[in-house]
Amino acid sequence: MPANTDLRTIQMVHAVPRSAFVSSSDISELMSGHSIPSQAAVRSILSRIPPLRASDKVLLIGAGSGYFAMILSRLVAELVVVEHNQVIADIAGKNLAAFKPANLTVRVSEGESGAADLAPFDRVIALCELTKIDTLLEQLVTEGSLVMLGRGDGHWTSLELCERDAQGNVRRQDLGPVDFSSDIGAALMDMGLVDEHLMATAKEEADRLSLPLMTVVQRHLGAEDISVYRAVAKRLGITFEEADKLFPQIDRSLVRQFSRTFLDHYRMIPIAQKGDCLQVASDNPEIQTVSLEAMMPGRAVQRILVTPTDYRRLWSAINISDKGARAIAQAAPSAQSAAHEDFAEELDNHISPYLVAVYEAILLDAVSEKASDIHIERYHQRVRVRLRVDGELSDLNHYQLTPAEMAGVINVIKTRAELNIAERRLP
């Protein structure tokens, strides 16, 4: 432990069970990171700020889940918590009520306004970045201090100390960065989705099979749930997207810049280049981009979390596009030497790996969308692929099939159904 953390502080941090403040499902969409700091982050903060005395009166800006507030209440004489969001204040109040802290008050108000009617305070602590601190400084005792978060880089956020001396002068000091990151295992347990036993089993299986921990946990929980991935992404500070939104953005030239072995090893798919930022999709919330960043000096990498099914759909779309381009190039002489209908007739009895890949990708899309029907329709030279979901037909625009390719896909379907592909009078 850092030198500034005394035994009393260490004991109080370990005495408050964090699980009592993070397991409720209603906090997943409202809080993350700074609002629910890990035990390690709390120890880091308390080790850097001036030691809290048992006689101190403290103002905390931001209730979060109530976890940090509960620890502070056991370290000081009186704690006032100001939270601007009524819903969050209610959640924190409910969590805190189980411990019945007699020296703690929660009120709903703007944090930068403080609590003038309850001032002065020995310390003001804010687990957020404040734009205006003058009002809060006025509510401090002489030689009191204000601690707040500064600018951050990802999960690392700087901690700043502002002290006011007897003459009213304010001195600022950088106390160093605090790591607010949380691994996927802790996040899933925080959300109440798994217990310690299941997490230990999942971690062993993930290491043995070389699979993302999240994927293994979902297998144990049952069906893949998009809402879980969305909540995990929010908790870990990662962007979440569905494959349908990413399909039009895929820059296949970016994918070709990396070996498939490299991308498979790190479970990532380059999607698009936005300025100096490369967007990559992965079904692994703990994806490591250090190697990718080393290959592209000066560029940042933005992680996009997708579900395992959507991860496979993205690869299918890329593979189909590449195979389709090769198939068209190979077939070009034949297409030029014969009418298009003759070309379609020529391929009618031919099944290529590319067409099998198209068929399997369409099936994967249909299963992912829980479709009841797949429609492959031809309108002159245009082919339309649609899914019926809950009675409504929607287009799969990322499939751009020629009439010849449509005939080939139909042959794949006939072959899988053990139908005679030469018989054209039957479906």
In angstroms, the CA 172 to CA 174 distance is: 7
CA distances from 22 to 17, 26, 38, 203, 365 (A): 10, 9, 10, 21, 35
Work out the average pLDDT over 162-175: 83
Q: What is the structure's pLDDT at 211? A: 84
**Domain-ending residue, one of 290, 306, 322:** 306
Q: What is the structure's pLDDT at 311? A: 92
Residues 155 and 204 in one domain: no
Work out the average pLDDT over 122-143: 90
Residues 349 and 295 in one domain: no
Q: What is the structure's pLDDT at 154? A: 54
Residues 42 and 165 in one domain: yes
With a cut of 90, say whether residue 241 has pLDDT above it. yes
Q: What is the structure's pLDDT at 81? A: 96
The CA angle 49-9-197, to the nearest 5 degrees, is 115
Residues 302 and 323 in one domain: no
Which CATH number does the domain housing residue 410 bear?
3.30.450
With a cut of 80, say whether residue 14 has pLDDT above it. yes
Which CATH number does the domain housing residue 102 bear?
3.40.50.150
The answer as to whether 147 is a domain residue is yes
Q: 164-173, 320-329, 360-369: which has the minimum mean pLDDT?
A: 320-329
Q: What is the structure's pLDDT at 350? A: 54
Q: What is the structure's pLDDT at 337? A: 43
Residue 103 phi/psi, 5-degree rounding, is -105, 20
Taking only the tens place, the pLDDT of each residue in 47-89 is: 989 899 999 999 999 998 899 999 999 999 999 999 999 999 9
Domains in the chain: how many in total?
3
Residues 169 and 36 in one domain: yes
Any long-range contacts for 287-296 (C-beta under 8 Å, 24+ apart)? 291/262, 291/266, 292/266, 292/268, 295/258
Q: What is the structure's pLDDT at 398? A: 79
Tokens of 213: 């921990």
Q: Are 351 and 321 in contact (CB under 8 A)?
A: no
The answer as to whether 238 is a domain residue is yes
Taking only the tens place, the pLDDT of each residue in 263-304 is: 988 899 999 998 889 999 999 988 888 888 888 777 888 999
The answer as to whether 35 is a domain residue is yes
The answer as to whether 424 is a domain residue is no
Task: Select from 355, 404, 406 the least CA-distant residue to 385.
Answer: 406
Q: Are 294 and 288 in contact (CB under 8 A)?
A: no
Taking only the tens place, the pLDDT of each residue in 323-356 is: 555 555 555 444 444 444 444 444 445 567 778 8
Residues 153 and 281 in one domain: no
What mean pLDDT value characterizes the chain? 83
The answer as to whether 112 is a domain residue is yes
Residues 110 and 158 in one domain: yes
Quick one: what percent of the chain has pLDDT higher than 90?
31
The answer as to whether 371 is a domain residue is yes
**Domain-ending residue, one of 240, 273, 306:** 306
Neighbours of 43 (CB within 10 A): 20
Residues 298 and 327 in one domain: no
**Domain-ending residue, one of 150, 179, 208:** 179
Which range of residues forms the domain containing residue 355?
A: 311-416
Residue 153 pLDDT level (bands cut at 50, 70, 90): low
Bond from prior residue into 270 cis (ω within 30 degrees of 0) = no
The answer as to whether 427 is a domain residue is no
